[in-house]
Chains A and B, each alone.
Chain A
Amino acid sequence: MKTFLKYTALLAGAVVFAYPFLWMIAGSLKPELEIESLNLFSGKFSLQSYAQVILKIPIARAFLNSMIVSAATTASVVLFGSMVGYALARLRFLGKKTLYTLILFTMTIPFQIVLIPQYILIVKLGWTDTYMALIAPTMMSAFAIILFRQFFMAIPQALIDAARVDGCSELMILFRIIWPLSRPVIITVALLTFMANWNEVLWPLMVVREQSLMTMPQLVTIFTTGGQAETQLGYLLAAATLLSLPVIIAYAFFQRYFIESMASSGIKG
């Protein structure tokens, strides 16, 4: 009896979290008139909503923009983050303590205070409506640096010394010795960064007005709030499905990495 109740509760939970997504996908594939029903299945199958979304907004271009921006940001955060993390963990230099304190300090600043000044900086640099505006302010992350530093501190000094004796430069040590040993932390940082950037919408709304440069969540937001969807439920659900499907597919394959990354970092993406 107890077991039965336990599984009922767990299953009820699963329905609560999964059903809305199933309803969204099912609804996007139904004719407009049948969407309201709670049923997932309908006799009639229709791609009309998708056709309309693709016709009305440059969603494929937005997908590409999101890909470019998220990939560039992620590559930069991993590359520069691991460089600074390595310097903090393994190199001697004057000002190391100061730098470390500064990075910790950066993590405590609520973003509300720098948001407007950052926007003004982008305007003054003439970067509004460019990829730079979307990439530059997130190119480095204090949080990633701290994660890298912690991981690198645990790598045996003997490995690094041996490489130095062999005449490796510090950069070569980082890429050839440290990186291959650091796959878990690289995956964690890369996944969290990519996800956070893919889903970011406030910043793009601020710095991009040109439709062809909008990221996917931004374009879908404008589509929803701007009246283009004409209160057609099917259009909205199709747009939302297109927006979430890439992430859901990636999640289906790398589910454990997503969850472990989040658990090991203790932050939200």
Chain B
Amino acid sequence: MTRLGDIVRGVRRSDRGAYWFILPYVIFFCAFVAYPLIFSLILVFNRWNIVTPMEWIGLKNFDRLIGDVLFYRSLLNTLTFLLIHIPLQVAVALALALLLNTGVRGRGLFRAIYFLPVVVSGVAVTILWQQIYSFDEGILNNILHAAGLPSVPWLVDPRVAMPSIAIMATWKNVGIYIVLFLVGLQNIPRELYEAASLDGARPFKQFLYVTLPMLNPTIVVIVVLSTIGGFSLFIEPYVLTGGGPMQSTLSGMLYIYNQAFSFGHMGYAATLGFVYALVILGVVVLQRRVIESEIPS
């Protein structure tokens, strides 16, 4: 009975009232974290539309997923999004942060303007970009016309639509990463640059051998956050394209939503969510490994 004794002693040594402090969270955790997690493990083995009773179908949801063209399509779309969004985001954020970090006047004001799209609702931003990307009279195509260039089918061409959304998402989020880069830049000790210039390193070499390696932790954070954001992409295609043209902007989240709420396939939607979660965890772990090993910090 020593274990029981340990527990009793442990509880006795606890501060009075400590359990009241954590009780609300424990209840919340059970209801909104533990229960959904366990329930998702049941759902993936069932066919269910919420209304009629659940029907156990074993691994059929996974069978279906393996043969589901739209699932692969949504994965591919997310990959397209990430391949454009992440490099663009890192490049633009780094460029603007480096510019802001050179002791310019009005630094605070510029930073505040670049950050503005971050705080505005994604729905408002999407409505706005619908007009920017509009084929006939959109802002971008009007500007292209004025410059004597042909229109770009931003959201109409299946090959262009996802890249367009990736550019828009970059515009919306880049302010966060400018701020993170600025913090990172300020944390680089001046002595490193002094030592580098004593060794005869030109500004570009200093950037390559001092700035970039020192910013590596920030880059990891940005890549991971953008990846998680990319996998959560929903409202932009929902409002802008509805997943089209030709499913080219069907994101993972939009596909899960459609399966659950357009078709009432709760079991299959939960299976998609389950598999997507595994994919996200896998990708993030892989990214950390690769980036941290390639640029030693």
A residues apposed to B, CB below 8 Å: 6-7, 9-10, 13-14, 16-18, 20-21, 23-24, 27, 36, 38, 80, 83-84, 86-87, 91-94, 99, 102, 106, 108-121, 123, 136-137, 139-140, 145, 169-171, 195, 198-199, 201-202, 205-206, 216-217, 220-221, 224-225, 233, 236-237, 239-241, 243-244, 247-248, 251, 255-256, 258-259, 262-263, 266-269
Contacts and interface: CB of A to CB of B under 8 A. Distances in A.
Given A110-B277, A236-B130, 16 more contacts: A10-B104, A21-B117, A21-B128, A80-B24, A87-B21, A91-B14, A108-B281, A113-B40, A113-B276, A119-B260, A145-B25, A206-B260, A221-B235, A240-B127, A258-B119, A267-B225
- The SS class assigned to the A binding surface is helix
Contacts of A80: 24-25, 28
A171 B19 CA distance: 12
B39 to A, nearest CB: 4
Interface residues of B, number: 94
B96 A13 contact: yes
A99 B29 CA distance: 10
Given A38-B139, A94-B14, A120 B50 contact: yes
B235 A202 contact: yes
A110 B50 CA distance: 23
6 contacts: A23-B128, A36-B137, A84-B21, A84-B25, A115-B256, A247-B121
A201 B22 CA distance: 30
A94 to B, nearest CB: 4
Contacts of B106: 10
Contact of A120 (B39, B111, B180, B242): B39
- The SS class assigned to the B binding surface is helix
B99 A247 contact: no
B228 interface: yes
A251 B104 contact: no
B109 to A, nearest CB: 8
Given A24-B128, A112-B277, A92 B121 contact: no
Nearest to A87: B21
Interface of B: 7, 10-11, 13-19, 21-22, 24-26, 28-29, 31-33, 35-37, 39-40, 43, 50, 96, 99-100, 102, 104, 106, 108, 110-124, 127-132, 137, 139, 142-143, 171, 173, 175-176, 179-180, 182-183, 221, 225, 228-229, 231-232, 234-235, 238-239, 242, 252-253, 256-257, 260-261, 266, 269-270, 272-274, 276-277, 280-281
B32 A13 contact: no
Contacts of A117: 35-37, 39-40, 43, 270
A116 B40 contact: yes
Given A251-B116, A267-B225, A106 B33 contact: yes
